A and B are shown apart, each in its own frame.
Chain A
């Protein structure tokens, strides 16, 4: 099994992703670096809430659009997520670096994990664990297929174990 770092760009290209917008994180940085090697339009946003706006504009224009942010940035942006992405029923794929899990080394990430877990639990947003399902092939394509069929955003949670090559 190749690592996510190796497979991320081929997965995005196979999924037909037209635009990715991000605010970086240690988990996300190697993936964002790979986007520079492709024709996929990447927008570096100043704030995570903007990512939801930019991706929503692209999605409503007919593109497959993806957001890449950390869980704390998602928490900063819940109002926009609710009133834009959920309200308009947009088929976005949102890759979230879900920091602060049991294996994460930084103690200051713990509260991000706790509050984002609570958000997911209480809003019942459709979420897929990358770690749990990484054997299942191109999860980005699968996430878009669900998002478009169900007309809702899908969160792809990067919740790595300490043995994964991308964990840092």
Chain B
């Protein structure tokens, strides 16, 4: 089983190669993504838990010509299940939701997440608008396109064995540089 940072590194590399914009969930997804290497196309969330799929939907609708990847955690997505309903109703062709499932709230010292009760594949199969469900495969990384449909990538990952480095940006700094990148 992959460490979360390794799974995110696979997605980040694929996103860079595809020119995808990346929205990362607060806490471990944002900090691990940053540790894989920083990029102006990353919209790090730092504060609102569970909002990565919603923010990514807003980005995807604002820029339908660009692929958008949301990197979500299992505990956070469980907080905002209804984002799946709204995304499915909009069905943007350029949005991929990737789920890092480590079964715990990573920053709390390993408190289990109740999302362990969820069969994510069955859940996503209940939304016909999702055109693809896949399991992250290190040997066969995904690609992202603006016309690939609404997709879901699942990765079972290990709880982190260490704390990530301190995250260096303020929220307004993240906003300013992302907007500059996406509107250039």
Contacts and interface: CB of A to CB of B under 8 A. Distances in A.
B46 interface: yes
A16 to B, nearest CB: 13
Interface stretch (A27-35, A83-91, A111-119, A127-135): A83-91
B82 A54 contact: no
Contacts of A83: 47-49
Interface size bracket, A side: 20 to 34
B51 interface: yes
A90 B58 CA distance: 13
B172 A58 contact: no
B90 A57 contact: no
Contact of B82 (A50, A60, A87, A90): A50
A89 B62 contact: no
Interface SS of B by simple majority: helix
A53 B55 contact: yes
A58 B47 contact: no
A63 interface: yes
Interface stretch (B101-109, B114-122, B148-156, B173-181): B173-181
A65 interface: yes
Interface in A52-84: 52-63, 65, 79-80, 82-84
5 contacts: A45-B54, A62-B183, A84-B55, A87-B171, A88-B172
Interface of A: 18-19, 21, 41, 43-47, 49-50, 52-63, 65, 79-80, 82-84, 87-90, 151
Interface of B: 23, 43, 45-51, 53-63, 80, 82-83, 85-86, 89-90, 171-172, 174-175, 178-179, 182-183
